[in-house]
Amino acid sequence: MQRYLIKNISIINEGEIRNSDILFDNERIEKIGIISEFKGAVSEIDGSGKYLIPGIIDDHVHFREPGYSEKGTIYTESKAAVAGGITSYMEMPNTQPPALTQGLLEDKYLLASKNSFANYSFYMGVSNDNLQEVLKTNLKINSVCGVKIFMGSSTGNMLVDNLLTIEEIFKNCELLIATHCEDECLINENLKRVKNRKEHSISIFDHPIIRNEEACYNSSFSAVQLAKKHGARLHILHISTEMELKLFSSILPLKDKRITSEVCVHHLYFTSEDYKVYGNLIKCNPSIKESFNKTALWKGVNDGSLDVIATDHAPHKWDEKQLPYLNAPSGIPLVQYALPMMLECYKNGLISLEMIVNKMCHGPAECFRIRERGFIREGYYGDCVIIDLDQGKQVKKEEILYKCGWSPFINHYFTSVITHTFINGHLVYGNGHWYESKKGARLLFSR
């Protein structure tokens, strides 16, 4: 395996920035420090003026395979993720067929072993009637990222509204329980109310009214109460409201928390005002809401109430997104530009570089207890990303790597770029060139 030496680069890691060299060998970080002598052949990269961060760990993606390969595949979406500095991901169970049995779950791992550029894990899915199958996942506590419950907003039999099933999972599941929290009954009431009130057709501007703050808070509150009652390990996904922040605390360090939270890049970047520009392209669940929520979310990121920044990457075909509001699917393709989005927020004074690394690299590793990833440490896997804060680039349609072929950021100019992505010590992406000889690995956990 090829060895790499990066010289004179600024390393952002564990709350500090320091200039150093770093050597990758045999999948691992062999040495960090001033490296003037080494044995054997090595490929040297000049890191002068650039930054090295641990690889991004995205705990929330929808790569659509199997079943929806016209929208995305593990190959296409993981490639886009790597171009965006994401070296590991955790993918959701609402594929077709959904991952509701242990056999179907392992089928996805097999697909990824052959096709994924990045390291991977997959959530076990929950339906109203697969309780015993879900609880078998306890036997895979160190090889599966968690169990996913759609407590609102899903299709088919993935929406779990059987309270007895939910209670039993919170009571008996030993893995992390990740939840999508929106109160479906309240959403339906809101939709009926808007339909009765509107003289004209419903549009995207009604989305944050239909899927409002109360719908999110009510469901999140219920999940937190269940977790406290049973001592479950709960992780609530894509927090989007100021109200929900009342449910979380920064008193304990992340490694000691039993209830944790995730916020997604689009809820930190957009507000409901942006529907005027992007329309259905930024339709997602939970909805992008009024700006006071975004302000509160940034406060939660910086004070430690929110633990992880993720993408909820969810590609849909362009023509689907052009349908009328009620028919257009929810979801945004984001993995290729999530890190540039956050670097833009850094330059706008909303977050520090150290905090970006904390929430996108260290936080997921600690939250899920991922083995030997998420930090730049000697002996850890060589998952690292080089970024250039002084080199900007305009997003061009022909450079979009998602299978769906579009992004809300086409023609947008980002002021920072990802130049290199290393996974397990192997250079996968470098200055626009791809080295596809190795695939990512299955994530393992220490629980």
Judge whether 402 and 333 are in contact, CB under 8 Å.
Answer: yes
Q: Cα(372)–Cα(385) distance, rounded to whole angstroms?
A: 16
Tokens describing residue 88: 């590991």
Q: Where are the beta strands (DSSP E) in 82-163?
A: 86-91, 119-122, 124-125, 147-151
The mean pLDDT of 285-291, rounded to a whole number, is 98
Could you tell me the residue ranges of all domains in the chain? 54-368
Q: Cα(417)–Cα(406) distance, rounded to whole angstroms?
A: 19
DSSP 281: G
**Helix, strand or coil for residue 414?**
strand
Residue 156 has pLDDT above 70, yes or no: no
Q: Cα(22)–Cα(386) distance, rounded to whole angstroms?
A: 12
* Residue 275 pLDDT level (bands cut at 50, 70, 90): very high
Total count of residues recorded for the chain:
447
> In 3D, which of 207, 112, 100 has the Cα closest to residue 153?
207
Q: What mean pLDDT is reported for the chain?
A: 96
* Residue 155 pLDDT level (bands cut at 50, 70, 90): low
The predicted-structure confidence for 215-229, as pLDDT tens digits, reads as follows: 999 999 999 999 999
Longest dimension (CA), the chain: 76
State the virtual CA torsion across 279, 89, 263, 417 in degrees, nearest 10: -70
Give the containing element (helix H, strand E) for 18. Answer: strand 16-25
Q: Cα(185)–Cα(271) distance, rounded to whole angstroms?
A: 25
**Between residues 151 and 349, which one has the greater pLDDT?**
349
**Between residues 221 and 40, which one has the greater pLDDT?**
221
Cβ count within 10 A of residue 109: 16
Cβ count within 10 A of residue 432: 9
Give the pLDDT of residue 56: 98
Residue 425 has pLDDT above 80, yes or no: yes
Tokens describing residue 233: 């390990």
Residue 342 has pLDDT above 70, yes or no: yes
Phi/psi of residue 316, nearest 5 degrees: -135, 160
Tokens describing residue 344: 């833009």
State the virtual CA torsion across 360, 93, 239, 217 in degrees, nearest 10: -160
Cβ count within 10 A of residue 371: 15
Judge whether 314 and 332 are in contact, CB under 8 Å.
Answer: yes
Q: Cα(393)–Cα(115) distance, rounded to whole angstroms?
A: 28
Domain 54-368 - what CATH class?
alpha beta
Q: Where are the beta strands (DSSP E) in 284-391?
A: 308-310, 384-388
Q: Cα(216)–Cα(239) distance, rounded to whole angstroms?
A: 8
Give the pLDDT of residue 18: 98
The mean pLDDT of 54-76, rounded to a whole number, is 98
Cross-strand partners of 322 = none
Residue with the two structure tokens 């004209």: 200
Cβ count within 10 A of residue 407: 22
Judge whether 31 and 63 are in contact, CB under 8 Å.
Answer: no
Of 157-171, 235-249, 263-277, 422-436, which gets the smallest average pLDDT? 157-171
Q: Are strands 234-236 and 177-181 parallel, antiparallel or unpaired?
A: parallel
Question: pTM here?
Answer: 0.97
Q: Cα(432)–Cα(10) distance, rounded to whole angstroms?
A: 22
Give the pLDDT of residue 157: 72
The mean pLDDT of 44-62, rounded to a whole number, is 98
Q: Cα(387)–Cα(51) distance, rounded to whole angstroms?
A: 5
Give the pLDDT of residue 58: 98
Give the pLDDT of residue 154: 58
